[in-house]
Chains A and B, each alone.
Chain A
């Protein structure tokens, strides 16, 4: 995979948390390249810092030192407002617990990120419908999250993540809260997004079957990365 240029380039990343007075080093001088179009799985024991690393790649957390370049932009250097705009344009987030807004329908949840764009209503609607079709939920657009199964909610969340056509998808244990069958469906969708739509995906997972779907796997343990394949 080294022939493609890296779309994510993490260099000398360090992050520690103060805990009971002493600093706990979660990431220590960590470097990582992820090529464009990759489906990358990050594994490792609980508490090893997987989410912390993913959050910094997605631009919702900041390191103590080091740089995170995504598609040529060092996002660590961006100010708060610029970083928010960057996230809106370049990253789609998928969380373990879906994190949909309960009072909004599937359609409205997916439309949310587009409200920050200058798109007129009609075009927004088209984008939303396309995204919901990709995840196979075109017939559930009026449903509220509490009227959907976990797997369906996660597919709405994926539609919300892809509706802005981002550079990068980051997923933190996207199948962690789902049964086998729903998990397979989610992994199918992610696989399709990677294959057909050429989306770069960085996925944190505990699930060996999910990891199998990825092209590249790496394990994070005690602040160190080791490639599995």
Chain B
């Protein structure tokens, strides 16, 4: 026998109590893992942004648009490969809860630039041939059961009116993180509709996506583009696609900070649960600690037995939580396919999960271990069990 075996034997003394404590740690680590994975997925849109893409928009606000005539001017800037205008449409398909992003874009440059959106060549011909054709993401088509050739009615909100689009292309993602929930249609179709209802209000783009030859050259292109439109009626603000995406995400950063805080609180609660378990265990065993000290064991012997038990409970709980994370995230990935392109678990989550378990194990043992190390033999022996 080694003194270390007492760690395991002690942990099994109150099986129900240990089991509940382990379960508590498991749930906490599981919750931490789920929250972390969701937050990572939330930012994944920005992560998927390519470094060779910039976005030019109205300097005042995204709400204001830019003249479409800017497109050829931006194309002239040295280092620029392609420019594609886009408009956020914001329409409603049947019901408001069926939300998905819709953009009126110049199809040809857009899909040349977004090479991670793969449209089969035979479909692509039909897309270009039809005025009100649309290209939809694979997951989006799945969500609403859309087939090629089907007509999708969408009610405009920013650009009021009843629009009808024909599904002519379904794109699938080239990379695992690619967003397959978007909806693209011809900018020209939207423009005609606007001109018809509000003459003189057309020929505008919400933003331009600008592909550059060399990502290292991005700063120079940004400067040139924005300088070009300085002091005009519609000044521009150009930034990397990633910065642009993060701008959207940042709007919800307060919510995310709140969620982060919640995950910290969960860890705090489970620390208290484990600390309570260890304090109860140590209190019950004061007499045994006194006996062990009588035999010649030192305070640090007892402290390490208590610390070992605490770490054992925490690590077993943490491991169960992390193992349970895999099937849970797989299920969530299916359930939330409409909102998150994918829910990959960051390997760091496992590292953090183990780290948190160990830290909670150590922290929960500090007070009872110090108490046991200090217990006076005579006082301990007098204690009635």
A residues contacting B by CB (< 8 A) are 55, 58, 60-61, 81, 84-85, 87-89, 93, 95, 99, 101, 103-104, 107-108, 111-113, 115-116, 160
Contact = CB atoms under 8 A, between A and B. Distances in A.
Q: Which 10 A-B pairs have the closest CB atoms?
A: A88-B296, A103-B9, A60-B377, A99-B291, A113-B295, A108-B1, A61-B378, A87-B296, A84-B296, A116-B296
Contacts of A115: 1-3
Given A60-B377, A103-B9, A111 B1 contact: yes
Contacts of A93: 294-295
Given A60-B378, A61-B377, A115-B2, A99 B296 contact: no
A113 B296 contact: yes
B64 interface: no
Contacts of A113: 295-296
B287 to A, nearest CB: 7
B295 A60 contact: no
Contacts of A99: 287-288, 291, 381
Interface of B: 1-3, 5-6, 9-10, 12-13, 287-288, 291-298, 377-378, 381
Given A55-B378, A84-B297, A112 B292 contact: yes
A73 B105 CA distance: 95
A54 to B, nearest CB: 11
Q: Interface SS of chain A: helix, strand, loop or mixed?
A: helix
A72 to B, nearest CB: 19
5 contacts: A81-B298, A89-B296, A103-B10, A104-B9, A116-B296
A168 B298 CA distance: 21
Contacts of B2: 115
Contacts of B12: 103
Contacts of A107: 1
Contact of A87 (B13, B294, B378): B294
B1 A116 contact: no
Contacts of A116: 295-297
A104 B3 CA distance: 11
A89 B377 CA distance: 17
Given A60-B378, A99-B291, A103-B9, A84 B298 contact: yes
A56 B284 CA distance: 26
A103 B296 CA distance: 19
Contacts of A55: 377-378
B228 to A, nearest CB: 80
Nearest to A170: B294
Nearest to A62: B378
B365 to A, nearest CB: 19
A107 B1 CA distance: 9
Contacts of B378: 55, 60-61
Contacts of A81: 298
Contacts of A95: 291, 381
B295 A88 contact: yes
A1 B2 CA distance: 42
A101 B1 CA distance: 14
Contact of A101 (B288, B293, B294, B381): B288
A99 B380 CA distance: 11
Contacts of B3: 115
A145 to B, nearest CB: 11
Among A111, A113, A115, chain B packs the most CB atoms within 10 A around the CB of A115
Among A87, A88, A103, chain B packs the most CB atoms within 10 A around the CB of A103
Nearest to B10: A103
